[in-house]
Chains A and B, each alone.
Chain A
Amino acid sequence: MLKLKLNHKDDLFKFILSIFVFGIILIFFTVVTVILYYSYPAVSRFGIAFLWTKEWNPPKEIFGAATFIAGTFMVTIIALIFAIPLSLGIGIFLEEYCPKFLKGFFTIIIELLAGIPSVVFGVWGVLTIVPWLRKYIEPFFKSHFSFIPFLQVTENIGYGILAASIVVAFMVVPIIASITKDSLAAVPKITKDGALAMGATRLDVIKDISLPFSYRGIYGGIILGFGRAVGETIAVVLLIGNQAIIPKSIFGVGYTISAVLANTFTFAVISPIYASSEVELALILLLVSLIVNIIGRNVLQKVIGGKLSRAQFGGG
């Protein structure tokens, strides 16, 4: 009797839990469906040209995503250019050189860094990176490197693609660094010992054994970092300058997909085609991040067996 009762409770509990799980799956498909449904008017009106049309003119109802796509990819690529070497360096140091008693401490700091809300990063960027760029970096580039394309300074206000990229880079570093560390940790000790026993230095071991062994994992980490950078919103809104133009320089202002959505979607609902165009922007972002995450996870699962900590998927 008692056993039956317990079993009954167990079944009920299991049933409730499965509703939760089913619910979250439903939410995922609802998101995809709603985005597809509401973007349809814009997709059918502007077609594929939406992707390379530069004009974004709500009063004339002409909408093209080119400026936002350009801004998004510039911020993402520049952020990764900063973040990748820094993260690899940190990951390699932590796994190969760091004394044991410090390793745990540094790892915690990196995980904490991943947990800082992005708006806090954005505020920090406005208070430090923007004035630093305005006072030192931009004048320096203006007087020395103005002949190099993409490095010209026109406005010298500190805000722009570079400011956003630097801050996004710091948000991506914990992801790539901790995955690099875990991938290197998965290299068998006996293989590293084998190289050391041949007279290899630690640098030889890293270069010839550890990195070739773990490049897949590191590659996966970079892809996840890319995913994070592509979707990063609030910090970018605060730093990028928010103008729908294709930046001609990394010091120029611009706009990203996520930033324009955050800034204008609430007004866009006044016009169905304006709203639909913005939803189409969301669709582009959704597809890019889904693809990037699927690729990144697949690559990683093969290497470290899918054991991913919070830092590797920090909130955004």
Chain B
Amino acid sequence: MTDINKNNIDNITENNKDEIKIEVKNLNFNYGDYHLLKDINLFFKKNSVCTILGPSGCGKSSFLRTLNRMNDYTEGSKLTGEVLLDGKNIYSKSVDVVELRRNVGMVFQSPNPFPKTIFENVAFGLKIHGIKNKQFIEERVEKCLKYAGLFDEVKDKLHKNAFSLSGGQQQRLCIARAIATNPSVLLMDEPTAYLDPAATATILDLIADFKKFYTIIIVSHNIQQAGRISDYSGFFLDGELIEFSKSGDFFTRPKDKRTENFITNRF
């Protein structure tokens, strides 16, 4: 419950831009006999957008799920190494997973609104984290819907079922939901995979705007998108991190032949 009442959303902190937000050290992830992630080392800087690229099955989604411990529920999986969020290992025993996930929001591949009203969807995280102040919840819901660029479209039907929205609107609702608990990191697993070009463009604009507030890590297989919106890019292949660098270098001067092959569409 530490940060949920503050409105970081309004107090943009650009001063510590070069600070490291997340550092991943010697991360290995096994699922049964599969060695899904092999000795991953990388870091994400505060208020940056980073895209993780790679062909299907390369482990990029699994990697993303290790950053908010969604892999906790995968039966028969084993993880070694460290993920440091603001310098603290999220896998240490003292970490409260509920608070971790409040701080690290997630947006999924396809829109996954809850079977509730639009309002209740956005308020869900606040309620889960014990916030009962009605006025606060109402203000926060409105604010988050505005930030997600959805408010004007839904302001007259906040109490209608979320499934009545279009796919693109649902995904923006899920983004509003994810930012309602005031996280500092947003994980996005191919957030535009099932959206049409117009809805995709809206989401990409949001992401570009959002890095003022959040450290954003996106998993994608869309090279053009990554080039457009991200400050850093990484390339995964068969569970290994092949290359990770500033997007400018990554796309124009890849160091590894395999990265070059991938970004020139040879996979």
Binding site for B on A (CB under 8 A): 99-100, 188, 190-191, 193-201, 204, 208-209, 212-213
Find B101's partner among A190, A197, A212 (CB 8 Å cutoff): A197
In the complex, the answer to whether B101 meets A194 with C-beta atoms within 8 Å is no
For this complex, 15 residue pairs linking A to B, each with C-beta atoms less than 8 Å apart, are A190-B108, A193-B70, A193-B108, A194-B114, A196-B73, A197-B68, A197-B101, A198-B101, A198-B105, A198-B106, A199-B97, A199-B100, A199-B101, A208-B114, A213-B115
Of B101, B109, B112, B177, the most chain A CB neighbours within 10 A belong to: B112
Chain A residues with CB below 8 A from B116, complex form: 208, 212
Closest chain-A Cβ to B183's Cβ sits at a distance in Å of: 10
Q: What separation, in Å, do the CA atoms of A99 and B75 have in the docked complex?
A: 8
Q: Which 7 A-B pairs have the closest CB atoms?
A: A199-B101, A197-B106, A199-B98, A194-B112, A198-B125, A190-B112, A191-B112
CA distance A185 to B105 in the complex (A): 25
B73, B110, B128: the one contacting A198 at CB < 8 Å is: B128
CA distance A194 to B191 in the complex (A): 13
Task: Give the docked Cα–Cα distance between A201 and B72 (Å).
Answer: 12
Q: List B contacts of A100 (CB < 8 A).
A: 75
Q: How far is the CA of A194 from the CA of B106 in the complex (A)?
A: 8
Query: How many whole Å from A217's CB to the nearest CB in chain B?
Result: 13
List residues of chain A with CB within 8 A of the CB of B128. 195, 198-200, 204
Interface size range on B against A: 20 to 34
A193 & B112 in contact (Cβ 8 Å cutoff) = yes
Q: Which residues of chain A come closer than 8 Å to B73, judged between CB atoms?
A: 196
Q: Which chain A residue lies CB-closest to B101? A: A199
Given A99-B75, A100-B75, A208-B124, also A195-B114 (CB < 8 A): yes
CA distance A200 to B125 in the complex (A): 8
Interface residues, chain B, with chain A CB atoms under 8 Å away: 68, 70, 73, 75, 97-102, 105-106, 108-110, 112-116, 124-125, 128-129, 174, 177-178, 181
- In the complex, which residue of chain A has the Cβ closest to the Cβ of B174? A194
B82 to A: closest C-beta gap in Å: 21
What residues of chain A lie closer than 8 Å to B112, measured between beta carbons?
Answer: 188, 190-191, 193-194
Q: How far is the CA of A195 from the CA of B68 in the complex (A)?
A: 13
Q: Which residues of A contact B115 (CB under 8 A)?
A: 191, 209, 212-213
Q: Contacts of B109 on A, CB cut-off 8 Å?
A: 190
How many inter-chain contacts with C-beta < 8 Å in the A-B complex? 66
Chain B residue at minimal CB-CB distance from A209: B114
With a CB–CB cut-off of 8 A, which chain A residues contact B106? 194, 197-198
Kindly list chain B residues whose C-beta atoms are within 8 Å of the C-beta of A208.
114, 116, 124
* Shortest CB distance B42–A (Å): 21
Q: A149 to chain B: closest CB distance in Å?
A: 40
| Pairwise interchain contact A195-B70, C-beta atoms closer than 8 A | no
> Which of A100, A191, A212, A213 has the largest number of chain B CB atoms within 10 A?
A191
Taking CB as reference atom, which chain B residue is nearest A99? B75
Q: Give the shortest distance, in Å, between B2 (CB) and chain A (any CB).
A: 13
Residue picked from A194, A204, A212, most chain B C-beta under 10 Å? A194
Contact between chains at A198 and B75 (CB < 8 Å): no
Whole-angstrom distance from the CB of A131 to the nearest CB of chain B? 43
Considering the chains assembled together, what is the distance between the CA atoms of A201 and B97 in angstroms? 9
Chain B residues whose C-beta falls within 8 Å of the C-beta of A195 in the assembled complex: 114, 124, 128
| Docked CA distance A194–B100 (Å) | 14
Nearest B residue to A204, CB-CB? B128
* Residues of the A chain whose Cβ atoms lie less than 8 Å from the Cβ of B102: 198-199
Contacts of A197 in B (CB 8 A): 68, 70, 101, 105-106, 108, 178
Please give me the residue from chain A that is nearest to B187 by CB atom: A197
Chain B residues, CB < 8 A from A188: 112
Residue of B nearest to A194 (CB): B112
The CA of A100 and the CA of B75, in the complex, are separated in Å by: 8
Measured CB to CB, the nearest residue on chain A to B125 is A198
A190 CA / B112 CA spacing, docked (Å):
6
A194 to B99, CA, bound (A): 15
Give min CB distance, A89 to chain B, whole Å: 21
A196 touches B101 (CB 8 A): yes
- Neighbouring B residues of A194 by C-beta, 8 Å: 106, 108, 112, 114, 174, 177
Q: Residues of A contacting B70 with CB < 8 Å?
A: 193, 196-197
Distance to closest chain B CB from A170 (angstroms)? 31
Expressed in whole angstroms, the Cα–Cα distance for A208 and B109 within the complex equals: 21
A236 to B68, CA, bound (A): 54
Chain B contacts of A99 at CB under 8 A? 75
Q: Are B75 and A199 in contact (CB under 8 A)?
A: no
A198 touches B108 (CB 8 A): no
